[in-house]
């Protein structure tokens, strides 16, 4: 896998730094970091499906929503303990991942992007119409059991999840599987030529992505304590996830994490200066300019900057 | 990593600055800063704060107001509540949130136990949460009458005016496919036939993103009913404007949330004439008592952008914030949320007009059963469902927009200043 | 029955106009312009500002909306599509971000509340127990005229034939000396104008509000997926399938499932015929 000493050092520093954060920053900042952690998980999940294989999904909230709704309904309506409901949510989301896989077997590119958008719209409509007694209909549900209380506990749980997901995916992507997945994104035909099954690789990517989305979605909803269709199946939510992954740097692990933190903090830190609608304008504008400047993301900007510094030295 | 540490340091210093200025009472506003709804609550609160500060503040301290925009987004609402609670560390929160946004941040309120007053959402499910979980919901108050009471008044309107005056015998219900639509439709259908003696011919549920209502109105006409009962809170101006544009030859009344503000006429370009709707009080076209009128005068002198007259929740915020401060004075501050709640629930503001009770700002306690609906409404605004409304104001009134743009209250008679009438293109029965 | 026919025709005409600009870009530029809905949004607000607020003649309002649409289309091509060198994913993502930015800008300028446009022509005509607002009739007829004009333009003019060539085979077109940059820019301009005018009609059908770019975008996506990269005629036919399905679902089946049926149509067609009903034809 080509692990080096500095890999361990960087990951170690990252984890220690996260563990120390509650001593260093205010509770309000911790709350913002919690949202950034969950967004990072979603962005990593999106990146596995779309960033690696090139099948751009505009309907990623479809998967996250399946996980979130499954565990919310099980715990809130049927009193199922979270130890049981979260694994079920992950499995259900993986089944959802197979649904997204179906069109990917036949169409690619923009067609696939559009059909995922249709999936999200479909589930958005269905959640409100079918069995509102279970889903809470348009208003959703409040009072979903929460796992933690307080900013510090919520932070540790979300940081643990985020680091686990990031580290697992980082290791996984350094195996031959990761290389093969990226090859699907580069050129599907050549993958076939080299004797690998592109379909099976796509299935692995979609299932992995769905598992992470389900896990993240389930814990996210047990953190929020509330679930609303308008908050989940929204083009704006899809937008945030995609932009986080891309602005950080697709096809990397640290990229989506950087992107998620950047977007979340950008929006939150504008609040005191621009309380109203200007905030979203500046937020979107910065994202657009940054993305146009370097479509490969902040990771690439840092990498090139670092290379230049080393070149000078 | 450096990125993260820098933001940490920034946040730390921000926290220190916020902590240093705590010798005052800090009120947080949560709601949209771009909607008429949100702005009504915010401005009502701003005026109340100014008046209290001019009078020497509360408990010798000045009040400051900070805002947290939700953009009417549920997740942003949760972040906004967290921001108020943990970054701004406010003492009290006043909310102009819509239903699902309030539901979104409620778990945070239960956790932080910050005294909170909701002025817009009327979702009965939140009052049910107070009933089920009085411990953690103690700091929550809602000073607008809940949905349950809203539908009940409408049955009386049906019996007295629609059936009594107009001679309508049957109705077709046109309800949006939302939780609100479902709840109101249920309440109305259960009571219309037995109480008002109006037969429900059909119930049509529609998708809130419907672009074209022509087939739906045709279906309503085909039902053979005498009038349409509309239940619409989202995009309701689309339903009513297409009703006017299509000149549907059937009377239509009901709940149309868009018609609750004075900007309705301007926003619909006049394509809203003839529409009548239930409205929380004080509604558009509502005659005001002197105290509330003084508030409107101050409001209009201070703000020249829309909404030109605050919506009902602006009044709720203005009176409610003062009551919250009075409760804090009695309870020795906002620190002990339970003590504050105990004082808040006893607040009682009776506003009179021409020597009669006109508006009352108070709250139901845990034990009193409202006689008409036969249930309790702890922490919900007081309301009265029976004439002559000497206990409190009615939960809602019916207002109507005339084709010339005038608006007024048509029901109940004690508050009416206009007659209910049919649009010119609708044949009378 | 007649009623369904009338209502279906009125709505479908609007949908055809609304989807056409999106199809054009997809056929010629091969990219999804996810900010397509923003033409409708901005077009609608431009018309509202000039005609309803400032009281300019209605036709002038529509014309101004179209001009703003053209400017937006060219700006998008010059500032986003060209610098990204036709990278599909990058264009799609940037246009999505742009759509969100433009929505925020509209909220900032006009506020959050919805507005209803005055009918372009007031009045109602009754036919077979069906109300036909003159305004909707005008919108449907105008849509048809615009689409016929577009068809003739593409079929008969030099520029139109160049567009066809680029749509069929960009490389071949380049070899035969067609300036594909110019063709692309003209297409983006036409698409912008179509979108902005569709926005005026769409808003006068329903309402004007900052989130109104999503709904029409979904309809356009539905039409393009079901129709496939294709002909003007194909888009026209599929717009009628989508429009009539909506009217029939609303009138006979279940109005609350309106959107569900459209989404199911997309998914079913795409799984059954990945290239859409009308496959890959010339423009």
A304 in contact with B at a CB cutoff of 8 Å? no
Say which residue the tokens 């563990």 belong to: A19
Question: How far apart are the C-alpha atoms of A174 and A184, rounded to whole Å?
Answer: 15
CB B239 within 8 A of CB B229: no
Q: Encoding tokens for residue A35?
A: 């949202």
A131 in contact with B at a CB cutoff of 8 Å? no
Q: Which chains touch C (3 or more CB pairs under 8 A)?
A: A, B
Say which residue the tokens 């900013």 belong to: A151
Residue B423: partners with Cβ closer than 8 Å, 6 or more residues away: B244, B251, B273, B274, B403
Question: How far apart are the C-alpha atoms of A264 and A259, rounded to whole Å?
Answer: 8
Over residues B336-343, the mean pLDDT reads 96
Q: Decide if B378 is inside a domain.
A: no
Predicted local confidence at residue A1, as pLDDT? 62
Residues B50 and B164 in one domain: no
Question: How far apart are the C-alpha atoms of A94 and A92, rounded to whole Å?
Answer: 5
Predicted local confidence at residue B183, as pLDDT? 77
Which chain C residues have a beta carbon less than 8 Å from that of A126?
260
Other residues' Cβ atoms within 10 Å of the Cβ of residue B322: 19
B9 in contact with A at a CB cutoff of 8 Å? yes
* Phi–psi pair at B36, nearest 5 degrees: -60, -40
Domain extent, residue C141, equals 23-212
A25 in contact with B at a CB cutoff of 8 Å? yes
Q: Decide if B231 is inside a domain.
A: yes
A265 contacts B7? CB cut-off 8 A:
yes
CA-based Rg of chain C, rounded to a whole angstrom?
18
Question: How far apart are the C-alpha atoms of B78 and A142, rounded to whole Å?
Answer: 12
Which chain A residues have a beta carbon less than 8 Å from that of B180?
138-139
Report whether pLDDT(C212) > 70. Answer: yes
Q: Answer positive or negative: Cα dihedral of B397, B402, B405, B406.
A: negative
* Phi–psi pair at A122, nearest 5 degrees: -65, -50
Render chain A in DSSP notation, one character per residue.
----HHHHHHHHHHHHHHHHHHHHS-HHHHHHHHHHHHHHHHHHHHIIIIIIH----S-HHHHHHHHHHHHHHHHHHH---HHHHHHHHHHHHHHHHHHHHHHHHH--HHHHHHHHHHHHHHHHHHHHHS-HHHH-GGG-EE-PPPS--SHHHHHHHHHHHHHHHHHHHHHHHTSHHHHHHHHHHH-HHHHHHTT--HHHHHHHHHHHHHHHHHHHHHHHHHHH-EE-HHHHS-HHHHHHHHHHHHHH-TTSSHHHHHHHHHHHHHHHHHTTT--STHHHHHHHHHHHHHHHH-TT-HHHHHHHHHHHHHHH-
Question: How far apart are the C-alpha atoms of B107 and B126, rounded to whole Å?
Answer: 11
**Model pTM score:** 0.90
Report whether pLDDT(B405) > 90. Answer: no
Which chain B residues have a beta carbon less than 8 Å from that of A141?
103
CB A161 within 8 A of CB A41: yes
* B215-267 pLDDT per residue, tens: 889 889 889 899 999 988 888 888 888 888 888 889 898 888 888 888 888 88
Residues B67 and B191 in one domain: no
Report whether pLDDT(B8) > 60. Answer: no
CA angle B112, A240, C274 (to 5 degrees): 135
Q: Which chains touch A (3 or more CB pairs under 8 A)?
A: B, C
CB C151 within 8 A of CB C232: yes
CB C230 within 8 A of CB C277: no
Q: Encoding tokens for residue B57?
A: 């503040």
Report whether pLDDT(B7) > 70. Answer: no
Report whether pLDDT(B330) > 90. Answer: yes
CB B217 within 8 A of CB B239: no
Residues B87 and B163 in one domain: no
Q: Decide if C259 is inside a domain.
A: no
Over residues B379-405, the mean pLDDT reads 91
Question: How far apart are the C-alpha atoms of B409 and B401, rounded to whole Å?
Answer: 9
Question: How far apart are the C-alpha atoms of B280 and B260, rounded to whole Å?
Answer: 8
CB B52 within 8 A of CB A63: no
* B198-213 pLDDT per residue, tens: 889 998 888 888 888 8
Size of interface A-B (CB pairs under 8 A): 144
Q: Encoding tokens for residue A96?
A: 């959802």
CB B384 within 8 A of CB B392: yes
B12 in contact with A at a CB cutoff of 8 Å? yes
- The rounded percent of chain A whose pLDDT value lies above 90 is 50
Alpha helices in chain C (DSSP H): 2-28, 36-47, 58-76, 88-110, 134-156, 158-168, 170-175, 180-205, 214-227, 232-248, 258-272
Question: How far apart are the C-alpha atoms of A250 and A298, rounded to whole Å?
Answer: 10
Give me chain B's average pLDDT, please: 88
B267 contacts C115? CB cut-off 8 A:
yes
CA angle C245, C248, C251 (to 5 degrees): 150
Q: Answer positive or negative: Cα dihedral of A14, A20, A25, A31.
A: positive
Structural domain spans, chain A: 26-234
Over residues B56-67, the mean pLDDT reads 94
Alpha helices in B348-404 (DSSP H): none
Which chain B residues have a beta carbon less than 8 Å from that of A279?
69
For B107, which residue in chain A has the nearest alpha carbon?
Answer: A225
Report whether pLDDT(B19) > 70. Answer: no
CA dist list (Å): A254 to A217, A242, A303, B1, B293:
20, 15, 12, 11, 59
Q: Decide if C66 is inside a domain.
A: yes
Kindly give the pairing relationship between strand B92-95 and strand B63-69.
unpaired
CA-based Rg of chain A, rounded to a whole angstrom?
19
B-contacting residues in A 37-76 (Cβ below 8 Å): none
Question: How far apart are the C-alpha atoms of C217 and A27, rounded to whole Å?
Answer: 41
CA angle A30, A34, A39 (to 5 degrees): 145
B34 contacts A280? CB cut-off 8 A:
no
How does B149-166 read in b/e, with b if 16+ C-beta sit within 10 Å? bbbbbbbbbbbbbbbeeb
Predicted local confidence at residue B5, as pLDDT? 39
Q: Decide: helix, strand or coil at residue B56.
A: coil
Predicted local confidence at residue A75, as pLDDT? 95
Please state the domain count of chain C. 1
Q: Decide if C218 is inside a domain.
A: no
Q: Which residues of C touch B (CB under 8 A)?
A: 3-4, 7, 10-11, 52, 107-108, 111-119, 124, 129-131, 133, 135, 202, 205-207, 215, 246-247, 250-251, 254-259
Residues B278 and B296 in one domain: no
Confidence of residue C95 (pLDDT cuts 50, 70, 90): very high
- Nearest-neighbour CA in chain C from A113: distance (Å): 9
For B174, which residue in chain C has the nearest alpha carbon?
Answer: C255
A242 contacts C96? CB cut-off 8 A:
yes
Of B98, B136, B93, nearest in space to B115 by CA: B93
Predicted local confidence at residue B16, as pLDDT? 41
Highest mean pLDDT among A60-64, B3-7, C276-280: A60-64
B100 contacts A140? CB cut-off 8 A:
yes
Over residues C121-148, the mean pLDDT reads 86
For C260, which residue in chain A has the nearest alpha carbon?
Answer: A122
Of A119, A132, A231, nearest in space to B178 by CA: A132
Predicted local confidence at residue C280, as pLDDT? 59
Residues B161 and B222 in one domain: yes
Which helix (H) or strand (E) covers residue B36, if one does? helix B36-54
Q: Encoding tokens for residue A79?
A: 């009193």
* DSSP E strand stretches across B207-282: 227-232, 251-256, 276-280
Which chain B residues have a beta carbon less than 8 Å from that of C44?
none
Q: Which residues of B touch C (CB under 8 A)?
A: 32, 34-36, 72, 177, 204-207, 209-212, 214-219, 235, 237-238, 241, 245-248, 258, 263, 267-272, 306
Give me chain C's average pLDDT, please: 87
- Nearest-neighbour CA in chain C from A60: distance (Å): 14
| B31, β-bridge pairs | B69
C253 in contact with A at a CB cutoff of 8 Å? no
Confidence of residue B180 (pLDDT cuts 50, 70, 90): confident
Could you say which DSSP state residue C147 is in? Answer: H
Question: How far apart are the C-alpha atoms of B100 and B98, rounded to whole Å?
Answer: 6
Q: Decide if C150 is inside a domain.
A: yes
Domain extent, residue B91, equals 2-146+289-350
CB A36 within 8 A of CB A73: no
- Nearest-neighbour CA in chain A from C251: distance (Å): 18
CB A98 within 8 A of CB A91: no
Q: Decide if C168 is inside a domain.
A: yes
Query: Higher pLDDT residue, B95 or B424?
Result: B95
B178 in contact with A at a CB cutoff of 8 Å? yes
- pLDDT under 50 in chain A at which residues? none
| A141, β-bridge pairs | A227
Q: Decide if B380 is inside a domain.
A: no
Residue C116: partners with Cβ closer than 8 Å, 6 or more residues away: B237, B238, B241, B267, B268, B269, B271, B272, C207, C208
Q: Decide if B369 is inside a domain.
A: no
Q: Encoding tokens for residue B204?
A: 């049509």
B74 contacts A139? CB cut-off 8 A:
no
C124 contacts B212? CB cut-off 8 A:
no
Kindly give the pairing relationship between strand A226-227 and strand B63-69.
unpaired
Q: What is the CATH number of the domain that holds B29?
A: 3.40.50.2300
Which helix (H) or strand (E) covers residue B361, if one does? strand B356-362
Kindly give the pairing relationship between strand B25-31 and strand B92-95.
parallel
| C132, β-bridge pairs | C125
Over residues C224-244, the mean pLDDT reads 83
| Helix A278-293 and helix C88-110, axial crossing angle in degrees, nearest 10 | 160
Q: Please enumerate, as own/partner, the contacts of A16-24 that have beta carbons within 8 Å and a separation of 24 or more.
A: A17/B1, A17/B4, A17/B5, A18/A159, A18/A163, A19/A159, A21/A155, A21/A159, A21/B4, A21/B8, A22/A151, A22/A152, A22/A155, A22/A156, A24/B5, A24/B8, A24/B9, A24/B12
Report whether pLDDT(B144) > 90. Answer: yes
- Can you tell me the ipTM of this complex? 0.90
* B30-53 pLDDT per residue, tens: 999 988 889 999 999 999 999 999
Which chain C residues have a beta carbon less than 8 Å from that of B70?
none
Q: Encoding tokens for residue C128?
A: 């077979």
């Amino acid at each position: 896998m080509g692990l080096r000493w500095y890999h361990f050092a960087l990951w170690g520093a990252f984890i220690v730094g996260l563990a120390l954060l509650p001593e260093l920053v205010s509770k309000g900042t911790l709350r913002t970091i919690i949202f950034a952690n969950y967004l990072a998980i979603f962005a990593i999940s999106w990146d596995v499906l779309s960033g690696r294989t090139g099948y751009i999904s505009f309907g990623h909230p479809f998967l996250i929503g399946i996980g979130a709704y499954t565990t919310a309904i099980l715990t809130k309506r049927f009193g199922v303990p979270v130890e049981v409901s979260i694994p079920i949510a992950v499995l259900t989301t993986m089944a959802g991942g197979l649904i997204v896989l179906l069109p990917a077997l036949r169409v690619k590119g923009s067609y696939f992007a559009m059909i995922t958008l249709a999936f999200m719209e479909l589930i958005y409509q269905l959640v409100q119409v079918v069995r509102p007694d279970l889903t809470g209909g348009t208003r959703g549900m409040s009072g979903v059991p929460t796992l933690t209380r307080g900013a510090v506990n919520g932070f540790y749980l979300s940081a643990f999840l985020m680091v686990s997901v990031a580290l697992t995916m980082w290791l996984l992507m350094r195996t031959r599987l990761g290389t093969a997945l990226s090859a699907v994104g580069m050129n599907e035909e050549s993958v076939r030529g080299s004797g690998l099954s592109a379909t099976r690789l796509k299935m692995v990517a979609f299932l992995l992505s769905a598992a992470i989305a389900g896990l993240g979605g389930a814990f996210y909803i047990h953190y929020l304590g509330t679930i609303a269709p308008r908050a989940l199946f929204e083009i704006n939510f899809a937008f945030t996830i995609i932009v986080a992954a891309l602005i950080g740097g697709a096809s990397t692990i640290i990229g989506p994490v950087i992107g998620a933190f950047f977007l979340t903090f950008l929006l939150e830190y504008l609040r005191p200066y621009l309380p109203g609608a200007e905030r979203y304008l500046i937020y979107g504008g910065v994202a657009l300019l940054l993305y146009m400047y370097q479509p490969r993301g902040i990771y690439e900007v840092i990498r090139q900057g670092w290379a230049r510094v080393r070149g000078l030295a | 990593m450096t990125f993260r540490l820098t933001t940490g340091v920034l946040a730390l210093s921000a926290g220190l600055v916020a902590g240093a200025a705590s010798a005052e009472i800090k009120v947080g506003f949560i709601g949209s800063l771009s909607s008429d709804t949100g702005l009504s609550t915010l401005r009502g609160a701003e005026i109340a704060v100014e008046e209290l500060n001019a009078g020497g503040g509360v408990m010798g301290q000045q009040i400051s107001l900070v805002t947290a925009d939700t953009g009417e987004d549920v997740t942003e609402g949760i972040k906004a509540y967290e921001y108020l609670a943990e970054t701004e560390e406010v003492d009290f929160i006043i909310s102009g949130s819509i239903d699902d946004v309030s539901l979104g941040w409620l778990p945070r309120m239960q956790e932080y136990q910050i005294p909170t007053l909701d002025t817009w959402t009327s979702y009965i499910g939140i009052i049910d949460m107070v009933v089920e979980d009085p411990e953690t919901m103690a700091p929550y108050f809602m000073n607008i009458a809940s949905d349950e009471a809203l539908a009940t008044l409408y049955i009386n309107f049906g019996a007295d005016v629609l059936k009594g005056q107009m001679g309508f015998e049957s109705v077709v219900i046109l309800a949006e496919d939302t939780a609100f639509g479902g709840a109101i439709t249920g309440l109305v259908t259960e009571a219309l036939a037995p109480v008002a003696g109006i037969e429900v011919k059909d119930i049509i549920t529609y998708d809130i993103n419907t672009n074209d209502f022509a087939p739906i109105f045709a279906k309503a006409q085909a039902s053979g009913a005498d009038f349409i009962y509309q239940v619409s809170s989202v995009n309701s101006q689309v339903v009513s404007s297409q009703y006017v544009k299509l000149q549907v030859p059937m009377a239509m009344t009901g709940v149309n949330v868009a018609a609750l503000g004075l900007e309705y006429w301007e926003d619909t370009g006049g394509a809203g004439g003839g529409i009548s709707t239930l409205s929380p009080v004080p509604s558009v076209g509502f005659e005001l008592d002197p105290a509330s009128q003084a508030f409107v005068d101050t409001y209009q002198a201070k703000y020249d952008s829309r909404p030109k007259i605050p919506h009902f929740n602006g009044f709720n915020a203005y009176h409610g914030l003062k009551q919250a401060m009075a409760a804090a004075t009695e309870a020795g501050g906002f620190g002990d949320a339970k003590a504050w709640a105990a004082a808040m629930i006893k607040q009682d503001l009776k506003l009179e007009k021409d020597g009669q009770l006109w508006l009352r700002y108070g709250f139901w306690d845990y034990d009193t059963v409202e006689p008409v609906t036969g249930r309790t409404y702890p922490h919900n605004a007081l309301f009265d469902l029976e004439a002559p409304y000497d206990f409190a104001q009615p939960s809602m009134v019916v207002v109507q927009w005339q084709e010339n743009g005038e608006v007024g209250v048509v029901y109940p008679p004690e508050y009416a200043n206009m007659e209910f009438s049919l649009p010119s293109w609708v044949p009378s029965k | 029955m007649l009623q369904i026919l009338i209502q279906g025709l009125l709505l479908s005409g609007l949908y055809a106009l609304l989807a056409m600009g999106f199809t054009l870009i997809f056929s010629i530029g091969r990219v999804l312009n996810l900010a397509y809905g923003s033409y409708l949004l901005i077009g609608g607000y431009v018309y509202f500002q000039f005609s309803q607020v400032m009281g300019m003649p209605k036709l002038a309002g529509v014309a101004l909306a179209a001009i703003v649409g053209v400017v937006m289309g060219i700006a998008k091509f010059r500032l986003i599509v060209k610098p990204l060198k036709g990278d599909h994913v990058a264009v799609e993502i940037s246009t999505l971000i742009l759509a969100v930015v433009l929505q925020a800008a509209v909220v900032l300028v006009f506020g959050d509340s919805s507005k209803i446009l005055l009918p372009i022509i007031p009045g109602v005509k009754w036919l077979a127990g069906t109300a036909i607002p003159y305004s909707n009739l005008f919108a449907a007829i105008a849509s048809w005229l615009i689409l016929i004009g577009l068809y003739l333009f593409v079929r008969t003019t030099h520029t139109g034939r160049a567009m066809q060539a680029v749509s069929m085979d960009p490389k071949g077109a380049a070899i035969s000396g067609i300036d594909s940059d110019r063709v692309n820019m003209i297409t983006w301009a036409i698409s912008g104008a179509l979108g902005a005018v569709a926005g005026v009609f769409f808003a006068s059908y329903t309402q004007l509000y900052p989130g109104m770019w999503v709904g029409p975008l979904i309809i356009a996506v539905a039409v393009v997926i079901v129709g496939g990269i294709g002909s003007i005629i194909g888009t026209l036919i599929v717009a009628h399938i989508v429009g009539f399905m909506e009217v029939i679902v609303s009138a006979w089946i279940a109005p609350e499932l309106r959107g569900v049926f459209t989404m199911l149509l997309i998914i079913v067609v795409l799984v059954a015929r990945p290239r859409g009903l009308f496959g890959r034809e010339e423009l």
